[in-house]
Amino acid sequence: MSYFKTAILLAGLAGLFMGVGYLLGGAGGATIALVIAAAMNLFAYWNSDRMVLSMHGAHEVDARSAPDLVRLVGDLAGRAGLPMPRVFVMDNPQPNAFATGRNPQNAAVAVTTGLMGSLTREELAGVIAHELAHIKNHDTLLMTITATIAGAISMLAQFGMFFGGNRNNGPGVIGSLAMMILAPLGAMLVQMAISRTREYAADDLGARIVGQPMWLASALAKIANGAQRIENPSAEHNPATAHLFIINPLSGHGVDNLFATHPATENRIRALQELSRQFGGGAGMTMSAAPAGGAPPRGPWGGAAPRRRGPWG
CA-to-CA distance for 209 and 230, rounded, in angstroms? 29
CA-to-CA distance for 215 and 122, rounded, in angstroms? 6
Nearest to 58 by CA among 99, 17, 18, 21: 99
CB 128 within 8 A of CB 73: yes
Nearest to 300 by CA among 123, 131, 126: 123
- Name the residue type at position 107: A
Cβ contacts of 51 within 8 Å, gap of 6 or more: 44
How far from 134 is each of 8, 111, 246, CA to CA, in Å? 19, 14, 10
Q: What angle do CA 3, 146, 24 make, to 5 degrees?
A: 125
- Name the residue type at position 35: V
CA-to-CA distance for 121 and 298, rounded, in angstroms? 7
Q: How many C-beta atoms lie closer than 10 Å to residue 188's C-beta? A: 17
Residue 266 appears among annotated catalytic residues: no
Q: What is the DSSP code (8-state) at residue 60?
A: E
Q: How many C-beta atoms lie closer than 10 Å to residue 220's C-beta? A: 23
CA-to-CA distance for 86 and 103, rounded, in angstroms? 12
- Among 60, 122, 123, 131, which one carries the catalytic annotation? 131
CA-to-CA distance for 69 and 52, rounded, in angstroms? 21
Known catalytic residues are: 131
